[in-house]
Amino acid sequence: MPKIQNIKIAVDAIVFGYQNKQLFVLLIKQKYGIFENKWVLPGGLVKNEEALTNAVVRELKEEAGITVNYLEQLFTFGDDIKRDPRNRVISVAYFALVNPQKLVLKADTDAKDVAWFTLNEIPKLPFDHNLIITKAVNRLKSKLHYQPIGFDLLPKYFPFSDIENLYKTILNRNIDRRNFRKKMLSFDILKETNQIQKNNTGRPAKLFQFNYNKYKELEEKGFHFEIKFA
């Protein structure tokens, strides 16, 4: 007896942004359907002859007006067969890291609006999108220990405190600052520049930039970064 399958494949995108010592997630407001006016992750069904990554790129462009430099596959969600009340849908989720200041948001197609939400501001979302975001945050925390983070999140030149605060924000914990600085500089992914950040208070701080080649090398090979907490 032939097996009957009626399963659809979708993609969802978790786009993380970092600004002003806060981590953000990009959400869109649906324009149509049973979840009209509800905030959800960008995403949608994959076309029959479309690669998964191409589908994510298309959905981000159509719904949020953005293009990201790098997407990483997160997880496949489908154990809950009722995760989408309309159909049996399996979703392959991807996540990205971006600097919000470099992007101009523009809602289009089936999106009524698009906006950044801090992790504490994210409302109750349809489908299993809250679960997907939680999974992505946990993956991001794990990545800090085996891959460098920050190239797509920080400006070209930044004080060392910026990358320190980035790690603290993602981990949501205070870190041993002296140990962190020593370990981070030992990986040679940061280059000290001759530029100075002048503050209204406190001592002027030297600015750093990423060593692109070393960063990409460690991104591909990985490294062990034991982070000590304060």
Tell me the pLDDT tens digit for each residue of 44-84. Answer: 999 999 999 999 999 999 999 999 988 999 999 999 999 99
In this prediction, residue 5 carries a pLDDT of 84
Percent of the chain with pLDDT over 90: 85
Domain 158-221 is of which CATH architecture? Orthogonal Bundle (1.10)
Please report which confidence band the pLDDT of residue 2 belongs to, taking 50, 70 and 90 as the band edges. confident
Kindly list the distances between the CA atom of residue 32 and the CA atoms of 36, 110, 111, 112, 162, in Å, as whole numbers in the listed order. Answer: 5, 6, 8, 9, 40
Average pLDDT over residues 85-105: 94
Q: Where in the chain is the domain with CATH 3.90.79.10?
A: 8-143
What residue type is 183 in one-letter code? Answer: K
In this prediction, residue 200 carries a pLDDT of 60
Q: Which of 16, 57, 14, 27 is nearest to 154 (CA)?
A: 16
Please name the residue that has the structure tokens 């849908």. Answer: 89
For the chain, percent helix, then strand, then coil, each to nearest 5? 25, 30, 45
Average pLDDT over residues 74-101: 95
pLDDT tens across 165-224, in order?
999 999 999 999 999 999 999 999 999 999 888 766 667 889 999 999 999 999 999 899
Task: Check pLDDT > 80 for residue 106.
Answer: yes
Three-point CA angle 4, 129, 175, nearest 5°: 135
Q: What is the mean pLDDT of the chain?
A: 93
Kindly list the distances between the CA atom of residue 142 and the CA atoms of 45, 83, 102, 147, 227, in Å, as whole numbers in the listed order. Answer: 29, 26, 26, 9, 11
Q: Which of 215, 221, 106 is nearest to 154 (CA)?
A: 215
DSSP state of 11: E
CB burial string 15-31: b at 16+ within 10 A, e below? bbbbeeeebbbbbbbbb
Largest CA distance in the chain: 77
In this prediction, residue 78 carries a pLDDT of 95
CATH number of 8-143: 3.90.79.10
Structure tokens at 49: 């002859």
pLDDT tens across 135-166, in order?
999 999 999 999 999 998 999 999 999 999 99
Q: Where in the chain is the domain with CATH 1.10.10.10?
A: 158-221
**Whole-model pTM?**
0.93
